[in-house]
Structure 1
Amino acid sequence: MKFSKVLLSTQQFEAIKGFYGSLLGLDVLEDQPSQLLFQAGSTILAFRKASSQDQPYYHIAFTIPANKFSEAKQWVSERGIALFSKDGQNEFLFENWNASAFYFYDPDGNLIEFIAHHTLNNTTDEAFGSKNLLCISEIGLPVDNVSQVVKELTETFRLRLWSGDGQQFAALGDAEGRLIVVDKHRPWFPDGRIPGVFDTRVSIEGTDSARVVLQNGLYELRST
């Protein structure tokens, strides 16, 4: 599965523009008073002004080349971004996914993940840079009822349960892209925060046109 666009909410336009545009070096596609668009590899990362006084926070992951994990860590650290550390470790191995990841926060407190999937053929000889953020490959969707949402999403978008029990946690999709459906009371890995349910719009590359609305309209997922 591939995401063509992920739209999130923010209260901090200038800070978000500086972080993703200047610090991480993503191309700015649109800079309007109410919306920001960045090109993150094959995915458009978009932010729009939050409609309430909430302080939205999300979990998203960017895929990086499988052979650039250590280089990517150094690149992020050189930009003054603190890597998340747990029990003295700042990198995390997912053996059942054959993947390695590290985490940090953006100005909104979004839990950002850079993940290298060693099953994907995406290695490169080029020095690591913003161009090596290949796509957004995960978006977290905290929900009231995981099993119900899993049923609806798998049937509508023809996805498979890639990982998880389907009751508290479900990664739907594949190594290229995953919807991370979790119980809204289940803490995020690895920082242990309780997720929040905030306005989220996801566009999925597909051959059929389909749409699912969840969480009283806060989540909208489309395939185009």
Structure 2
Amino acid sequence: MIINKVTLYGHAWNEMRNFYVDVLGFELLSQTDDAFEIKAGESVLEIKKYHYKDKPFYHFAMNIPTNLFTSAKAWAKSQVELTREEDDDEVYSAF
């Protein structure tokens, strides 16, 4: 399956924009008062402001080619603190 565009909603819109664009360095494709879009590989990730009381929560992953995993992890670790599970910062999932 090829995913061209994914739209997610967030209550911390400015923080999410700063994280993806300023911290992780994703290319900002467009921005309005209520949304922004970034380039994620061959896809577009759109984040829209969520205007209701409850706070949406998403978890998604981006595939990294096996031969680039070590360098991608080192780069990510230099930008943010990696999450840990059972004192390990790598978790394998067949899914």
Matched, 1:89 2:88: yes
User: For structure 2, which runs of at least 5 residues remain unmatched after alignment?
Assistant: none
The equivalences for 1:187-198 within 5 A come to none
Name the SS for the 1:48 alignment partner. strand
Specify the structure having the higher radius of gyration (Cα).
Answer: 1
Q: C-alpha separation between the residues in 2 aligned to 1:44 and 1:53? A: 27
User: Which protein has greater RCO, CA pairs closer than 8 Å, 6+ apart?
Assistant: 2
The equivalences for 1:143-222 within 5 A come to none
Name the SS for the 2:67 alignment partner. coil
The alignment's C-alpha RMSD in Å is 1.3
Letter in 1 for 2:15: A
The equivalences for 1:16-31 within 5 A come to 16-31=16-31
Deviation of 1:93 (Å): 2.2
Scaled by the length of structure 1, the TM-score of the pair is 0.40
Larger proportion of helix: 2
Q: C-alpha separation between the residues in 1 aligned to 2:89 and 2:36? A: 30
Q: C-alpha separation between the residues in 2 aligned to 1:48 and 1:57? A: 13
1:75 aligns to what? 75
Q: C-alpha separation between the residues in 2 aligned to 1:89 and 1:74? A: 15
Q: C-alpha separation between the residues in 2 aligned to 1:47 and 1:53? A: 17
2:64 aligns to what? 64
User: For structure 1, which runs of at least 5 residues remain unmatched after alignment?
Assistant: 98-162, 164-224
Identity of matched residues, %:
28
The equivalences for 1:100-119 within 5 A come to none
Name the SS for the 2:36 alignment partner. strand
1:158 aligns to what? none
User: Is the Cα–Cα contact under 8 Å of residues 5 and 46 in structure 2 kept in the other structure?
Assistant: yes
Name the SS for the 1:68 alignment partner. helix
Matched, 1:34 2:34: yes
Moved over 3 A (4+): none
Letter in 2 for 1:90: D
Name the SS for the 1:59 alignment partner. coil
Give the total of aligned pairs: 95
